Amino acid sequence: MQEEASKALGGGSLGSWYAPNITSDKISGIGNWSQDEIKTYLKSGHIDGLTQAAGGMGEAVEHSFQHLTEADLNALTIYLASTQPVRDPADGNLSRFALGQPVSSADRVRGNQPIRSEDNPDISGAELFTGNCASCHNYQAQGSHDGYYPSLWHNSVTGASNPDNLIATILFGVDRHVAGAQAFMPGFGGKKTDAVQLNDEEIAKLTKYVFDTYGRPQVSVSPAQVATIRHGGSKSPLLVLSRIGMAGGTILIALGCFWFLRTFRK
């Protein structure tokens, strides 16, 4: 739980979600965003064709940033532009905002059978996408014209080197209220909506399909990773240590009581 000063604002895991790099680096961070884009993002949680806020960032926008004054927003953008750039070697020289292209998933699902959306061991990633995602994000993942449904290429989540936020978005969805309007995507694993509930294997297959087809194909995804994100993210080693410490302490106290009783009760 120590801060790594050399990686300040360079990104880190926060439970199920990953807080991405927001340094001024032009590849790994947000150094290519204009001041207006940063302000739009903080106020609305959404920039067309670039990025959206879900998880903890969605909550921060909903409950806090949308109410900031113009002067505070300006101060924040000036501060963010002045941060030390941090480059993540896994990004290579490819910014997460510029990866992927439109590809038709409908062409990959042949025949006139009803599209399956779950519950079949040989179901393909294209079929999972067509059955569960294309109705909103469209068959080429190009989104909707007004930007309400974002495109899944040129999207910070599918262009990321870390798969956590794509997995978490599919599991938990998006639910953000800003200025009286709602941005809503159902979760496919959180059991809070009536959308189809996908298991860890299906979500791993679908996530990999989306990275391969529309984003950064180098990213790998396993069912075990999905299970970890589903259950709140990887646990801090400190927590494990503190549990061992507590168990050890309890045993020592019990032994102490035992010794005390044996010695002084005669």
In the complex, the residues that contact ligand HEC under the rule CB under 6 A are 46, 52, 54, 132-133, 135-137, 148-150, 152, 157-158, 165-166, 169-170, 174, 183-186, 188, 210
| Minimum CB distance to ligand HEC, residue 147 (Å) | 8
| Minimum CB distance to ligand HEC, residue 21 (Å) | 15
Tell me whether residue 10 or residue 58 sits nearer to ligand HEC (CB atom): 58
Tell me whether residue 27 or residue 152 sits nearer to ligand HEC (CB atom): 152
Distance CA 138, CA 106 (A): 9
| Minimum CB distance to ligand HEC, residue 142 (Å) | 13
| Minimum CB distance to ligand HEC, residue 73 (Å) | 19
**Is the CB of residue 50 less than 8 Å from the CB of residue 157?**
no
Distance CA 152, CA 251 (A): 53
Give 111-117 contacts, CB < 8 A, sequence gap 24+: 117/196
Contacts of 186 (CB under 8 A, 6+ apart): 173, 193, 194, 195
Tell me whether residue 84 or residue 103 sits nearer to ligand HEC (CB atom): 103
Distance CA 180, CA 44 (A): 11
- Residue 98: which of 12, 214, 17, 207 has the closest Cα? 214
**Is the CB of residue 169 less than 8 Å from the CB of residue 132?**
no
Tell me whether residue 23 or residue 46 sits nearer to ligand HEC (CB atom): 46
| Minimum CB distance to ligand HEC, residue 93 (Å) | 23
- Residue 91: which of 23, 5, 173 has the closest Cα? 23
Tell me whether residue 10 or residue 163 sits nearer to ligand HEC (CB atom): 163
